[in-house]
Amino acid sequence: MEGSSNGNHHHTDGGATAQMNHFRPTKPGGGGGRSRVSRIQTPPCTEFDKAYFQSYSHVGIHEEMIKDRVRTETYRSAILQHRSHIEGKVVVDVGCGTGILSIFCAQAGAKRVYAVDASAIALQANDVVKANNLSDKVIVLHGRVEDVQIDEEVDVIISEWMGYMLLYESMLGSVIVARDRWLKPGGLILPSNAVLYMAPVTHPDRYAESIDFWRNVYGIDMSPILPLAKQCAFEEPCVETISGESVLTWPHVVKHVDCYTITYQELQSVTASFKFQSMMRAPLHGFAFWFDVEFSGPANNEEASSLTEPPKTNPSGSHRRKRAHPDEALVLSTAPEDPPTHWQQTMVYFYDPIDVEQDQVIDGSVTLTQSKENARFMNIHLEYASGGRSFVKECVLR
């Protein structure tokens, strides 16, 4: 997990403190996208938001993300692959953090890059830009994307907005605001699409380590602690790495996100029904969630994305189309069988496992909603049934 104030944060946001950009004076009004601003409803900056932005002033979070080679190198490859859309064009980087993606865009020939971040890490980003002699191209704006002023329309939006379980932290909302404020018709958004998947999982080692341990502790029966141990271990979602062999079925699509058309309202509540058929006899310990994002150009986006219902290839979920040609869309995957990333997978464990037979059906529904307490938290409501028994599991990713 990220090294932040609550242990669960993931990356910077283009949303922000009330403080406006430090590095470029704001003007009242402004050109370009300004005609669209009045139609956009932007959420107020809450105390939760301020705490969230503050957590991103710690360099440790940015170090972990940058050292995630799968993440960083895929973004760099995507920028180079879409160089023709970036060269000589205006880019906005939503939640720029240390400024690395903005600098990649400048190196790819962008005319101008607006690097927006609400966290105080923007101060360091500005110094990094200066140290690399790119102050003439990269303009760091310290403030929420909802508040900063950019006096022109932009050709490209780039953002690393994905949180655990894709939608945790609600940062995609800031990308939507940037899109609706500034993006030219036919402009490019990187990444362009995302898909959240889920699948039932068996994980006996994890259960034995956290729960069965208490049955015999140095010869002492500590089983009275079991109920508390289950609550402490599994009450909240767990961000951890699972193996592809633990996945019992083909993955199911919970939500497909088209960054060109998604609305803020769609993110407030997501519901999906599922029906799985176990491929083996095993104890079912919970559900795993992971995501893919795709970097396709504006033209490609009109066609069907490769991120759709997975073909039945293997139960661990090699569900993505592999890139047969270099001009095909790049995909960044956090699936269990792919190289690990700092996002890992998000597990929702049951307090007690369910024994399932091969071909046994597991069906139900999942609802993900923004927490009313703090919109950056996610409420998870799972209803599931198998073998004639029904269950409900509720938890909060916080």
Domain total of the chain: 2
Q: What is the DSSP string of 146-198?
A: TT----S-EEEEEE---BTTBTTT-THHHHHHHHHHHEEEEEEEES-EEEEEE
- CATH for 227: 2.70.160.11
Active site annotation includes 245: no
- The single residue of 2, 146, 160, 294 carrying the catalytic annotation is 160
Does some domain include residue 171?
no
Does some domain include residue 391?
yes
Buried b (16+ CB within 10 A) or exposed e, 323-342: eeeeeebbbbbbbbbbeebb
Q: What is the pLDDT of residues 231-266, one digit of tens each?
A: 999 999 999 999 999 999 999 999 999 999 999 999
Residues 355 and 243 in one domain: yes
Domain that holds residue 55: 44-160
CB 392: neighbour CB atoms within 10 A?
A: 9
**Of 331, 340, 341, 390, which is closest to residue 362 (Cα–Cα)?**
390
Q: Tens digit of pLDDT per residue, the chain (398 long)?
A: 333 333 344 443 444 333 334 454 333 333 334 334 435 667 788 876 666 666 666 788 889 999 999 999 999 999 999 999 999 999 999 999 999 999 999 999 999 999 999 999 999 999 999 999 999 999 999 999 999 999 999 999 999 999 999 999 879 999 999 999 999 999 999 999 999 999 999 999 999 999 999 999 999 999 999 999 999 999 999 999 999 999 999 999 999 999 999 999 999 999 999 999 999 999 999 999 999 999 998 755 444 455 654 444 444 444 444 444 556 889 999 999 999 999 999 999 999 999 999 999 999 999 999 988 888 899 999 999 999 999 999 999 99
196 neighbors 165 (Cβ within 8 angstroms): yes
- 3-state DSSP call for residue 106? helix
**Of 268, 9, 32, which is closest to residue 148 (Cα–Cα)?**
32
- The single residue of 146, 153, 169, 294 carrying the catalytic annotation is 169
Residues 251 and 333 in one domain: yes
Pairing state between β 238-240 and 330-333: unpaired
| Lookup result for tokens 């009330």 | 18
Query: In whole angstroms, how large is the CA radius of gyration of the chain?
Result: 22
Residues 339 and 226 in one domain: yes
Residues 140 and 196 in one domain: no
Residues 156 and 225 in one domain: no
Instruction: Give the integer Cα–Cα distance in Å for 254 and 149.
Output: 35
